[in-house]
């Protein structure tokens, strides 16, 4: 074990550009920094891990992401902290689990200013920091006591950001793409996508309507891939590629029934590629369980900045410094994810609290408000987009229209109906999490092991749902007023026999 650590540290010094020299009176070697790496996050929006060429999808074309994977490290077990934009991004910025962030656990809420974000820490250390697109959000950063978006200063383009950089100044930039968030752009030029080749997951109906919906989603992933390519080209032109750590990822899973806002892998598992060819051994596939949250301590360690003790995430530097693939750190054998309130889709703004632990073989979910509708109150089921049925969402609409048909009833129930307090899925035999085995005798021993491991983690990280204390997200303000009185589109009012307006306000 000691030998492995010495080798990793030696590679780490090369990785970060840190040279070791003697002369320290304590007898230890003195560390001197000679150049700090740049950080570039290229994030898609609502994009599941398996819909990238290098992750095995034979239909969607993603040459730039595939090339970065060949030049870097592709993680096969990467997850967001929460299947919801705002808390997932808050966790990434703070390096903390969502239950530690008070109202930061919610969509359209706040991220209280008392929670440090890596962007501010880097900026204080001399980095130029900025973002393009959503950054942290959606939410109200002013109401959280912040003068700006926690992601940093906003820029219209990466070029405008780079133009503000002083000579030799390290930078950290977060490009938050709109792709492939719904509604999909049906007017753009789309690449030819073979509908017959699209593999529909078993939790969705397998028909032309759903395949067409997935095709539109794929087209926007391909647009994101082009955006990735433009950033790489710019870095090459500026001579910055060798000194820039590039992260390609998503914030959470896709916007399909049982995807976004769900603790199933279709809602939490994301593509995650890290590339820096000049300093990281290329073409590695790593199976360790990692999280978006791990980026904050990783960036700080690579910038030679102390990692705040509040961060519950772990730096990825030992993995990046390794030359190995497969499983590297035996302690990275699980990830814990969580959800609280996603959209304002239940009477009184009620959320749907849950925690989940994911391992190589199993997914265990604890639903705390299982008396609520997990997909939002009927008939809109607003935690499945379109949350107000105000824009096209062909798969959701098809399932709503055909919910009573023989071949649709089970799928509809899985996506929209109420769920038990506990869910357990055998991922080896049931990769799409269709059969809950939490109450079967055969699985009671593994359920006990997983619940113990989950509760230990939640207790150690001070989750109020386990240790007690105020759960500020329960009554946290929701800053999108129109969502509280949803008005479905006229066409869907007619098609689904809906009212002109609903209200979730007591």
Q: Do 245 and 122 contact (CB within 8 A), yes or no?
A: no
The yes-or-no verdict on residue 18 having pLDDT over 90 is: no
How far, in Å, are 70, 351, 450, 466 from residue 491 at the CA level? 46, 29, 46, 45
Provide the pairing of β-strand 128-133 with 171-176. Answer: parallel
| pLDDT recorded at residue 35 | 77
Task: Give helix then strand counts, H and E, for the chain.
Answer: 14, 14
CA angle 165, 166, 169 (to 5 degrees): 85
Q: Which of 183-197, 438-452, 482-496 has the weakest average pLDDT?
A: 183-197
The yes-or-no verdict on residue 145 having pLDDT over 70 is: yes
| pLDDT recorded at residue 9 | 39
Q: Give the pLDDT band (50/70/90) at residue 52.
A: very high
| pLDDT recorded at residue 32 | 32
pTM to 2 decimals?
0.93
Distance between CA atoms of residues 81 and 360, nearest Å:
17
The yes-or-no verdict on residue 219 having pLDDT over 60 is: yes
pLDDT digits (tens, 9 = 90+) for 334-346: 999 999 999 999 9
Q: Give the pLDDT band (50/70/90) at residue 431.
A: very high
Strand (E) positions, 30-85?
30-33, 38-44, 72-79
| pLDDT recorded at residue 27 | 34
The yes-or-no verdict on residue 189 having pLDDT over 90 is: no
Distance between CA atoms of residues 70 and 278, nearest Å:
13
| pLDDT recorded at residue 2 | 35
- % of the chain at pLDDT higher than 70: 92
pLDDT digits (tens, 9 = 90+) for 70-116: 999 999 999 999 999 999 999 999 999 999 999 999 999 999 999 99
How far, in Å, are 145, 342, 423, 466 from residue 475 at the CA level? 18, 13, 26, 18
pLDDT digits (tens, 9 = 90+) for 257-267: 999 999 999 99
- % of the chain at pLDDT higher than 90: 91
More confident residue, 14 or 97: 97
Per-residue pLDDT, averaged over 170-178, amounts to 98
Q: Give the pLDDT band (50/70/90) at residue 192.
A: confident
Domains of the chain: 2-33 (no CATH), 38-333 (3.40.720.10), 336-496 (3.30.1120.10)
- What is the Cα Rg of the chain in Å? 23
| pLDDT recorded at residue 186 | 63
Q: Other CB atoms closer than 10 Å to residue 231's CB: what's the count?
A: 18
Distance between CA atoms of residues 489 and 53, nearest Å:
35
Token pair listed for 47: 């994009």
Q: Do 411 and 399 contact (CB within 8 A), yes or no?
A: yes
| pLDDT recorded at residue 191 | 56
Per-residue pLDDT, averaged over 439-467, amounts to 98
Buried b / exposed e along 473-489 (16+ C-beta atoms within 10 A): bbebebbeeebeebebe
More confident residue, 261 or 192: 261
Distance between CA atoms of residues 392 and 375, nearest Å:
17
| pLDDT recorded at residue 185 | 82
Distance between CA atoms of residues 119 and 203, nearest Å:
38
The mean pLDDT value of the chain amounts to 93
The yes-or-no verdict on residue 160 having pLDDT over 80 is: yes
Residues 6+ apart with CB under 8 A from 168: none
């Amino acid at each position: 074990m000691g030998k492995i650590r010495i080798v990793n540290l030696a590679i780490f010094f090369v990785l970060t550009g840190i040279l070791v020299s003697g002369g320290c009176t304590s007898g230890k070697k003195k560390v001197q920094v000679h150049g700090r790496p740049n950080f570039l996050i290229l994030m898609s929006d609502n994009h599941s891990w398996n819909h990238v060429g290098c992750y095995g999808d034979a239909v969607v074309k993603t040459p730039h992401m595939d090339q970065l994977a060949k030049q870097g490290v592709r993680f096969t077990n990467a997850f967001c902290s929460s299947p919801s934009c705002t808390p997932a991004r808050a966790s990434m910025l703070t390096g903390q689990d969502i239950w530690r962030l008070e109202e930061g656990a919610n969509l359209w809420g706040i991220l209280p200013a008392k929670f440090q974000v890596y962007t501010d820490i880097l900026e204080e250390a001399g980095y130029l920091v900025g973002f393009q697109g959503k950054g942290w959000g959606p939410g109200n950063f002013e109401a959280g006591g912040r003068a700006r978006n926690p992601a940093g200063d906003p820029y219209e383009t990466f070029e405008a950001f780079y133009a503000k950089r002083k000579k030799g100044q390290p930078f950290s930039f977060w490009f938050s793409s709109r792709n492939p968030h719904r509604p999909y752009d049906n007017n753009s030029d789309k690449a030819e996508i073979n509908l017959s080749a699209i593999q529909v997951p078993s939790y969705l109906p397998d028909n032309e309507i759903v395949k067409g919906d997935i095709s539109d989603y794929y087209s926007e992933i391909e647009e994101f891939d082009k955006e990735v390519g433009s950033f790489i080209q710019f870095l090459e032109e500026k001579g910055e590629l060798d000194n820039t750590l590039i992260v390609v990822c998503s914030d959470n899973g896709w916007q399909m029934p049982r995807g976004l806002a769900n603790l199933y892998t279709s809602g939490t598992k994301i593509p995650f590629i890290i590339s820096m060819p000049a300093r990281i051994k290329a073409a590695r596939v790593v199976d360790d369980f990692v999280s978006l949250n791990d980026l904050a301590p990783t960036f700080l360690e690579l910038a030679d900045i102390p990692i705040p003790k509040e961060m519950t995430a772990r730096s990825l530097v030992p993995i990046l410094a390794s030359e190995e693939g497969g499983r590297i750190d035996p302690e990275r054998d699980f990830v814990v994810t969580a959800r609280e309130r996603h959209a304002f889709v239940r009477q009184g703004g009620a959320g749907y609290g849950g925690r989940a632990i994911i391992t190589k073989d199993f997914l265990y979910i604890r639903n705390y408000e299982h008396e609520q509708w997990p997909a939002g109150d009927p008939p809109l089921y607003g935690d499945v987009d379109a949350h107000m049925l105000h824009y096209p969402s062909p798969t959701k609409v098809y399932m709503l229209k055909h919910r009573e048909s023989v071949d649709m009833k089970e799928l509809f129930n899985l996506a929209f109906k109420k769920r038990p307090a506990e869910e357990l899925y055998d991922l080896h035999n049931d990769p799409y999490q269709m059969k809950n085995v939490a109450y079967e005798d055969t699985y009671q021993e593994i359920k006990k092991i997983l619940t113990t491991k989950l509760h230990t983690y939640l207790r150690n990280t001070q989750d109020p749902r386990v240790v007690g204390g105020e759960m500020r997200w329960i009554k946290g303000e929701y800053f999108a007023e129109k969502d509280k009185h949803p008005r479905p589109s006229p066409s869907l009012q007619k098609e689904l026999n809906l009212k002109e307006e609903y209200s979730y306000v007591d």
